[in-house]
Chains A and B, each alone.
Chain A
């Protein structure tokens, strides 16, 4: 399955994941309470500069990941255009874009296995309340393995529907997809037990 990590390397890729996540948490905590438009503008400028310093290719990737935010920017523009509080709207919009862009930057420059390693380390204390880290790792592996399998079978069901019916598949298609997930869960549970259980 595809991940959101960029297919090319930047210097940021080589930093440890834990460090990047800690830096992200710290920066976001500083960024969110900012109220002065000049400070917000400065922060946003630094975020843009950071992207450009890492290369044009990465900047384009980052811009594409921000695209789903445009309806919210439109709402802000309309809202603050009508009320006349332009400065406030600009501040809110820039802050939102900067926070999301920084978080996306960590995602784009950190490989999935490094992220999973951090999650396992963070989740280790949960062993005391019964959540074993190896069970979490197994669950993650199962989702990564079975999402493409289920997706493939769901697409086959939809194809079959299209062959029979000129209209778009209706919600009824969700029932066999859910049954497939339930059946697969039983099969995998049996297979795990057959191999000695958890």
Chain B
């Protein structure tokens, strides 16, 4: 019980930290790692705890803490054009965690599939729906707006899989999604 709560809280803090540290280098392109944090919540903590960690993080953003990448936060981000992505974050973490929990493939492969399905497919679909609503565009038009982010996201999926596998090797008992 205590362990569940502290893991959820510390991973919510981890998502914030990954968005706030100076940008890290991703094959010569500097990126913020916040969405990587969302994927890791799912693949490391599992479906339920991962989604709760993301929800806790979003709750703190809504309460007025500037924890989103670039120091953004507050209630405004939940009615802006990126709001769909925020809705997609907990769902994406849940799907990523669910796949790692249910699919008994080697951890690296399961994490790759989970991070792709949850972190890209689910999050991007929600993001597209959000942009279509706020910007008054059709879904195919909003999809065009989401395309530029996909290349970076694909790299983050690969990184998430590599990190999850690394954690499984270094600290197998910490990987709650496979506990």
Which A residues are closer than 8 A to B by beta carbons? 1-5, 24, 28, 65-66, 68-69, 72, 75-76, 79, 88, 91-92, 96, 99-101, 103-104, 106-108, 110, 112, 115-116, 119, 135, 138-140, 142-144, 146-147, 149-151, 154-155, 158, 167-171, 173-175, 177-179, 181-182, 184-186, 188-190, 192-193, 197-198
Contacts and interface: CB of A to CB of B under 8 A. Distances in A.
A112 B163 CA distance: 34
Contacts of A88: 136
Contacts of B40: 174, 178
A92 B138 CA distance: 13
B75 A103 contact: yes
Given A88-B136, A171-B26, A181 B14 contact: yes
A177 B17 contact: yes
Interface stretch (B4-12, B94-102, B121-129): B4-12
Contacts of B30: 168
Contacts of A193: 2
Contacts of B75: 24, 103-104, 106-107
Contacts of B20: 147, 151
- Of B44, B70, B75, chain A has the most CB atoms within 10 Å of the CB of B75
Given A179-B171, A189-B3, A69 B10 contact: no
A69 B76 CA distance: 11
- Give the interface residue-count category, chain B: 35 or more
Interface of B: 1-3, 5-14, 16-18, 20-26, 30, 33, 36, 40, 44, 56-57, 59-60, 62-67, 70, 72-81, 134-137, 141, 145, 159, 163, 166-167, 170-171, 174
Given A2-B66, A100-B80, A169 B167 contact: no
- Of A3, A178, A188, chain B has the most CB atoms within 10 Å of the CB of A178
A175 B76 CA distance: 32
Contact of A177 (B12, B18, B70): B18
- Of B23, B30, B59, B78, chain A has the most CB atoms within 10 Å of the CB of B59
Contacts of B22: 158, 169
Contacts of A147: 13, 16-17, 20, 67
Contacts of B135: 72, 75-76, 92, 96
Given A171-B26, A181-B11, 17 more contacts: A1-B65, A2-B66, A79-B141, A92-B135, A100-B79, A104-B74, A104-B75, A147-B13, A150-B17, A170-B26, A171-B25, A179-B174, A181-B10, A182-B10, A182-B171, A182-B174, A185-B10
